[in-house]
Chains A and B, each alone.
Chain A
Amino acid sequence: MSKLSLIQAVNQALYHEMDRDPDMILLGEDIGLDGGVFRATDGLIQKFGEDRVVDTPLSESGIVGTAIGLAAYGLRPVAEIQFMGFLYGAMEQLISHAARIRSRSRGRYTCPLVVRTPYGGGIHAPELHSESTEAFFIHTPGLKVVVPSTPAEAKGLLLSAIRDPDPVIFLEPSKIYRAIKEEVPDGEHLIPLGEARVVAEGEDVSLITWGAMLHPSLEAAGKMAEKGVRAEVIDLRTLSPMDTGTIIQSVKKTGRAVIIHEAARTCGLGAEIAAVICEKALLSLEAPVLRVTGYDTPVPLPKTEKYYFPDCDQIIEAVEEVVQF
């Protein structure tokens, strides 16, 4: 065990798997000597050489497109896209090709590809550096979407993502890249994809969230506990495929649900979760399902970005509303 930040845990996972699997290669912009703009690949080119840690031309579509070919050929490419806002240039490759090559080729070709990218806001970055548009990818059949919320989670989920036989979009919340340090197991540490984690147990309300938003949700749960409201906090971890079983089990127990995500409200994953709860736990509900989300606007530039992201007070307000309903 060693105490690592989330970005260090990502680095350790990449190192571990590169060491284990000679067919794994990294490709992206500035991932070599520079070690990635957030230093996720720091030291890897020195250890594994420039044939396996490859600085590519500046082309997101080129990176993802060639990674699909590399994966189909039998390699394990892990692509880094510098910021989620720059992943949009590779949408056609992801939606029309990565997500479909298994089904189009009737299983002859597969796409064991991971696209890692920093995501979410709150780091005072320029335009398009604060995106949380995970719903685009969740809405694409054939893609898996994973979001870690702590350093140990990041390592365990990333290793599983790399070993997964299908394409995985791995979204790393940049706000908490360095904000939290925790003990991360050395060596093998696998967290299965598709399983949510109950971070705190409670009987009165279910808080369902992921990524950086787990932390204000836990803070809100702590403050509500002082007022005698016991909140259960669920970290979804894998957004697609989603662990609906854990959500439904929790909501059947608590009868109330608040979903927290920083992405824009309309057609965010919160809408899907609310629909699943209505389909499978309607008669257990004591109150409407509420969402605490970003607004249906672009994320503002740093001067006013703080107003965009859900905070602890908004979560508490929503919890009070469902509890008092």
Chain B
Amino acid sequence: MPKKTLQEFSVESIQILDENGKIDTTLLSQTDQISEKTLKSFYESMVLIRAIDEKALNLQRTGRMGTYASIQGQEAIQVGCAAALQPSDWCFPAFRATGLSVLRGTPIKVIYQYWSGDERGSEMQDGQHDFPISIPVGTHIPHAVGAAWGAKYKKDPIAVLTTFGDGATSKGDFHEGMNFAGVFKLPVVFVCQNNQWAISVPFSRQTAAKTIAQKAIAYGFEGIQVDGNDVLGIYTVTKNALEKARRGEGPTLIECLTYRLNDHTTADDASRYRTEEEVAIWQKKDPVLRLKTLIEKEYEWSESVDEALHAEVDRRVAEAVDAFEAIEPLNPLGMFDMLFETLSPELHDQRKKFTQRLGKLNKEESK
């Protein structure tokens, strides 16, 4: 037989909650039932992380914080992933992950601290198994794979999750990480937040492939696309993938198809390269609104309850801003003290000279 088909593949796309807040009951029935309490907690988390994001933009605009990468439009992914993860799992986020970080345990004030240019904003809480967000695009993906390798080696019953954008799938690190994960059958879940724009470069310039999900096929494991604005779909697919990983059945790539509603960062102006019409289409697909529609319909979520939630969220965020603004100034000596376990004689000498200079600078400043 000189010519034969060796492999064929298909890629599935999942949507449980559509943009009108309607549920696909067949798909939902195939999953663990999601309780009323869980659904409401998803909504509460989404409202919270959007408010944190809004405040971050406000802090940047008023000069109290530096450049910031907004997560608006991508809340469902971050809530769905955080809910599917266990505290013992490890997480390796890219830089558009404010919601995921907060839901994994980073205090809100620490998020603001990081984006205000304070190194202490990268510190994790005790028991929080997360890496600081990666600023270089996609280079953290192999780290997630390595941690998953470590867990497999030590026979720890955990999984590792990493998030990244569509731009990252153009980097070698993404492919190299995926390949290792496939070869060593590692407990890792790759979550692509495909928001369709890498700053100004559209998805069509990142790949000629129809989906990101299908890239997993080339590395010998399953890839699946899910509506990135559907928290139920994301939660279900991610939970399944994490459980599969913990059972030792290898990695999964999940492509969450979503949209970045804001500029790339506060240093960007998206009106230079995309139309208002396109943004408006995606505003209608807002992940927060569609979940609200569902709980209003199914669980009598009233306007007054909603207002109470927003008031409580606003109070929490305001409290976090107060806490952020009360943080002690950063000691610049940290640049030496955090570099090695033991300072070399040369660095010790540089530190000493810097301390003298700092004393002089502080004296001048207080004049």
Contact = CB atoms under 8 A, between A and B. Distances in A.
Interface of A: 29-30, 32-35, 37, 55-59, 61-62, 85-86, 88-89, 124-129, 265-266, 295-298, 300-305, 307-308, 313-314
A303 B172 contact: no
Given A89-B136, A128-B135, A295 B354 contact: yes
A29 B272 contact: no
A302 B116 CA distance: 7
Contact of A125 (B67, B119, B171): B67
Interface string B185-199: 000000000000011
Nearest to B115: A126
B135 A126 contact: yes
Contact of A32 (B167, B200, B268, B346): B200
A314 B119 CA distance: 25
B184 interface: no
Interface string B155-184: 000000000000110111100000000000
Interface residues of B, number: 44
Given A29-B201, A57-B207, A303 B330 contact: yes
Interface string B125-152: 0000000000111110000000000000
B205 A301 contact: no
Given A89-B139, A303-B116, A29 B199 contact: yes
A37 B336 contact: no
A300 B332 contact: yes
The prevalent SS among residues of A at the interface is loop
Nearest to A34: B200
B61 interface: no
B9 interface: no
Contacts of B135: 85, 126-129
A233 B358 CA distance: 27
A315 B361 CA distance: 15
Interface of B: 66-67, 115-119, 135-139, 167-168, 170-173, 198-201, 205-207, 267-268, 272-273, 329-330, 332, 334-336, 339, 346-347, 350, 354, 357-358, 360-361
A302 B67 CA distance: 10
A21 B200 CA distance: 27
25 contacts: A29-B201, A30-B199, A30-B201, A32-B273, A34-B199, A34-B272, A37-B199, A37-B268, A55-B201, A55-B205, A57-B205, A61-B171, A85-B135, A86-B137, A89-B171, A126-B66, A126-B67, A126-B115, A295-B354, A296-B346, A297-B347, A298-B339, A300-B335, A303-B118, A313-B360
A127 B201 CA distance: 22
Nearest to B138: A58
Given A58-B137, A58-B168, A126-B66, A304 B199 contact: no
Nearest to A300: B335
Q: Which A-B residue pairs are the 9 nearest by beta carbons?
A: A302-B117, A34-B200, A58-B167, A57-B170, A304-B332, A301-B117, A33-B273, A297-B335, A303-B117
